C-alpha cells in the first residue's frame, strides 16, 4: 500500500489517497466515463482518501440524481479537473472510493504503464463484468 498525493490543475484542491496502482485500475464504457475519459484506482478502504485543501472548491457532477445510481463524481469547481468518485453499489462490494489517476501527482510513468486495467461494462450497469469492446476506452 502506498500513499499517493493528488491535486487539480490549478492547485486549489489537494488530497492523499491510500492504495496501489499495481493492484489494478479501472476504465468504464458507460456514457459518463467515456465522455470524461475516466481512469480510476479503487482504494482498498473507502475512507482512504483525505482532502488536504480546497474542500470549498469541490464540485460534483449530478450523476446520482440523473440515474439513481449512488455515485458522486468530484471535480475542482475552479479548473474542472476530475478528482475522485465515491459511492455505494452493492454489486461492486458496497461503499467505495476511486481516485482519478490523472489527478495523481508525481507517479512515475513506468508505474502508470505497469498498472493493470479492468475495463468495466458500466454501459449495462454491470461494472463487475468485462466490457465487450475496449479499444475506444
Render each residue's pLDDT in the chain as its tens digit; 137 residues.
Answer: 999 999 999 999 999 999 999 999 999 888 888 888 889 999 999 999 999 999 999 999 876 445 667 788 999 999 999 999 998 888 778 899 999 999 999 899 999 999 999 999 988 888 789 888 888 87
pTM, to two decimals: 0.86
| Size of the chain in residues | 137
Instruction: Name the CA radius of gyration of the chain, rounded.
Output: 14
The CA distance from 130 to 84, in Å, is 22
Quick one: cell of 8? 487539480
The CA distance from 17 to 104, in Å, is 9
Quick one: cell of 49? 482518501
Sign of CA dihedral 98, 43, 137, 8: positive
CATH topology of domain 2-130: 2.170.150
Amino acid at each position: 500500500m502506498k500513499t499517493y498525493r493528488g491535486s487539480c490543475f490549478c492547485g486549489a484542491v489537494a488530497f492523499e489517497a491510500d492504495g496501489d496502482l499495481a493492484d489494478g485500475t479501472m476504465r468504464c464504457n458507460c456514457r459518463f466515463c467515456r465522455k470524461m475519459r475516466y481512469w480510476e484506482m479503487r482504494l482498498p478502504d473507502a475512507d482512504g482518501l483525505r482532502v488536504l485543501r480546497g474542500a470549498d472548491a469541490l464540485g460534483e457532477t449530478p450523476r446520482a440524481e440523473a440515474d439513481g445510481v449512488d455515485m458522486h463524481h468530484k471535480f475542482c469547481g475552479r479548473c474542472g479537473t476530475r478528482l475522485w468518485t465515491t459511492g455505494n453499489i452493492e454489486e461492486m462490494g458496497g461503499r467505495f472510493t476511486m481516485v482519478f489517476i490523472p489527478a495523481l501527482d508525481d507517479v512515475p510513468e513506468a508505474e502508470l504503464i505497469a498498472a493493470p486495467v479492468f475495463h468495466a461494462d458500466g454501459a449495462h450497469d454491470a461494472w463487475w463484468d468485462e466490457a465487450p469492446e475496449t479499444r475506444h476506452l
